[in-house]
Amino acid sequence: MGDFAPSTMLGGGVDSAAGGTCVATFLYARMHQFSAVCQALSAEDAAAFVTEVRRLLTEAVTKLGGEVAQRRPDSILAVFANKPDDKKPNHAQRGLHAAILAVHEAVQLAQGMAARPQFAGNPIPTLAVGVHLGAAEVAKRNGGGTGSGTVTAIGEAVEVARLLEVTATDLGWSVATSAGTRLASAGRADGGRIGSVALPDNSFIDVVEVTGLVPRKGSSTPPRVFELLRESLVTNQISRKRIASPAPASPAAAAAAGGHFLIEGYKVVRQIGEGGMATIFLAQHADGGPPQVLKVMRMDRAVEADGLQRFIQEYALLAQVQHPNVARIFKQDFSIAHAYIAMEYFPRGDLRARMKAGPIDSATALQYIKQTAAGLGAIHQVGIVHRDLKPDNLMLRQDGTLALADFGIAKQVSMKITDTGDGDIVGTPYYLSPEQALGQTVDARCDMYSLGVLAHELLTGRKPYLASSAQELLNMHINAPVPLLPPDLAHLQAVLEGLMAKDREQRYPTAQTLLDDLARMGL
């Protein structure tokens, strides 16, 4: 197989990693389709292939001054540490350079094999590499063994490098590095797409796709060399896509295969909420613009609760709605083990928080009621019934406008009562319509009832019905009369009656009829 071995292009020095904890750059590279290629080849060619893979992975490391910490037939873990004569740390540059060179060598190997008739139709080997700068325990190895390197390396930074190789595999990249590592390379590595990955401690790191090597200032290396390296990174990605499964894995398989949280194209800032099957993150899109909210659902949770179909349906329905009083939905997509929706971020929080902050005057309350009605009208027109209207699901923009949000994956209403200690009861169906309480089929008019409950609370500062048990509260929704508003709001009593009528046939049939009625009243 020597006649299709890749040619070397770039060189480097040799490191000497010190013992103990040190800050270094760690590279983990793994050849994919390795076993399939070996099985497809004759014994002689398979042995030669294994030798070539070992050579190209090792040489890519040692040429750039790295030391091997672990070497297996299909993978290598390497350490790039400071050298005594370094004026300033450059191990991030060397680690990324080695990663790019390794991919180039792997592509040369694959192309050389493909050019020979006896290898036609065989699987295509591809390389995925993760590179991370961080602290780990590094020490000279005493003795040796099969597959061992010259040093040992253990610690969080090593595991992150391994995780980044998985990330590169999941996203179809050739080389994935942490954003901090690329920054430390002082501009030697070009970056492409971005993403965020959750670590085991639930913190996040930003990841960057490495798309090329940037020449040093005054470099005498021909530009074509750098072009070839970039082309190899792309070719390696294309080859991986060709051998990828033509159909997406089942949610259960995806969850089992890739347990880490991974979203491409977004920089995750922090987690801002969690509930049901979804976790909510504040994120920044790679293209810039205002922050967005990522509503992320693990696929295994979706399978257990049959929630994936509803999650997809939520986006499909809301994508039809373009209205200032409905939260904007930007994107729905899937990553390994997760489905997510990207939506508008509301820095001022929800209406519940505003109500707790202090009294709301009647004029502002009416504005909130009208804006909520307008949002409901927009979703009702495309056949969506919210079924969970409450202050927690009404969001405030910076300019004070209100938007209907959180259409939920699960629409079931909790009947659990929790005493907070300050007299409030949380988790009871305060905003439930009589037909929901009776288990009847609901339509848009159940949202109108919930709007009536909200309107009473906004105007008076009190919920219309209070009870010591969920059952008693449900009974009040079904049978109790609509409460009277105070004298200064008596002119709105008929409106409240039209919203909270027990018989839905007696309610406002649509949100627009409510808005028209308020307009006739000069409100």
In a domain, 358, yes or no: yes
Catalytic residue among 74, 206, 300, 388: 388
What mean pLDDT is reported for the chain?
A: 83
The pLDDT confidence band at residue 146, using thresholds 50, 70 and 90, is very low
Q: Does 166 lie in the same domain as 47?
A: yes
- Which range is most confident: 165-174, 183-192, 452-461? 452-461
Tokens (6 digits) for 379: 């979703």
In a domain, 249, yes or no: no
Rounded to an integer, what distance in angstroms lies between the CA atom of residue 81 and that of residue 100?
18
pLDDT, tens digit (0-9, with 9 covering 90-100), for 492-522? 999 999 999 999 999 999 999 999 999 999 9
Q: Does 237 lie in the same domain as 296?
A: no
Q: Does 332 lie in the same domain as 202?
A: no
Residue that is last in its domain, among 344, 361, 391: 344
pLDDT at 229 over 70: yes
Q: Does 288 lie in the same domain as 240?
A: no
CA 256, 261, 266, 272 dihedral sign is positive
In a domain, 256, yes or no: no
pLDDT, tens digit (0-9, with 9 covering 90-100), for 72-105? 999 999 999 987 777 788 999 999 999 999 999 9
* DSSP, res 267: E
pLDDT at 427 over 70: no
- Poorest-pLDDT segment among 37-46, 145-154, 488-497: 145-154
Q: Taking a C-beta distance cutoff of 8 angstroms, is the pair 29, 57 a contact?
A: yes
For 97, half-sphere exposure in the C-beta direction (CA atoms, 13 angstrom radius) is 28
Give the model's pLDDT for residue 415. 29
Stated as kind and residue range, the H or E segment containing 252 is helix 251-257
What domain count does the chain have? 3
Residue that is last in its domain, among 307, 329, 344: 344
Rounded to an integer, what distance in angstroms lies between the CA atom of residue 29 and that of residue 27?
6
Query: Which CATH number does the domain housing residue 155 bear?
Result: 3.30.70.1230
Q: Does 229 lie in the same domain as 321?
A: no
Catalytic-residue membership of 206: no
In a domain, 253, yes or no: no
In a domain, 158, yes or no: yes
**Could you tell me which residue, 160 or 10, shows the higher pLDDT?**
160
Q: Does 96 lie in the same domain as 48?
A: yes
pLDDT at 19 over 70: no
Q: Which residues are paired to 212 by β-bridges?
A: 190
Mean pLDDT calculated for residue range 441-457 = 94
Listed residue (459, 474, 273) closest to 362, CA to CA = 459
3-state secondary structure of 269: strand
In a domain, 257, yes or no: no
Q: Which residues are paired to 402 by β-bridges?
A: 396
Tokens (6 digits) for 81: 């540490």
In a domain, 205, yes or no: yes
Q: Does 455 lie in the same domain as 495?
A: yes
In a domain, 252, yes or no: no
CB-based contacts of 220: which residues, under 8 Å, 6+ apart? Answer: none
Biggest CA–CA distance in the chain, Å, is 96
Q: Does 373 lie in the same domain as 306?
A: no
Rounded to an integer, what distance in angstroms lies between the CA atom of residue 118 and that of residue 113?
9
* Strand pairing category for 338-344 and 394-396: unpaired
**Could you tell me which residue, 466 or 279, shows the higher pLDDT?**
466
Q: Does 212 lie in the same domain as 193?
A: yes
3-state secondary structure of 315: helix
Q: Where are the beta strands (DSSP E) in 299-352?
A: 329-335, 338-344
pLDDT at 15 over 60: no
- Poorest-pLDDT segment among 42-56, 189-203, 506-520: 189-203
Q: Does 371 lie in the same domain as 472?
A: yes
* Strand pairing category for 418-419 and 425-426: antiparallel
CA 102, 106, 112, 118 dihedral sign is positive
- Residue 34 domain boundaries: 2-244
Query: Which CATH number does the domain housing residue 469 bear?
Result: 1.10.510.10
Q: Taking a C-beta distance cutoff of 8 angstroms, is the pair 278, 341 a contact?
A: no
Q: Does 359 lie in the same domain as 329?
A: no
Q: Does 504 lie in the same domain as 406?
A: yes
Listed residue (268, 276, 277, 408) closest to 338, CA to CA = 277
Share of the chain above pLDDT 70, in %: 82
Q: Taking a C-beta distance cutoff of 8 angstroms, is the pair 368, 351 a contact?
A: yes
Phi and psi of 402, rounded to 5°? -105, 145
* DSSP, res 142: S
Rounded to an integer, what distance in angstroms lies between the CA atom of residue 332 and that of residue 409?
14
3-state secondary structure of 332: strand
Angle between helices 362-381 and 511-520 (to 10 degrees): 140
Query: Which CATH number does the domain housing residue 304 bear?
Result: 3.30.200.20
- Cβ neighbourhood burial of 180 (10 Å; 0-12, 13-18, 19+): middle
Kindly report whether the global pTM for this prediction surpasses the value 0.75: no
Residue that is last in its domain, among 244, 272, 293: 244
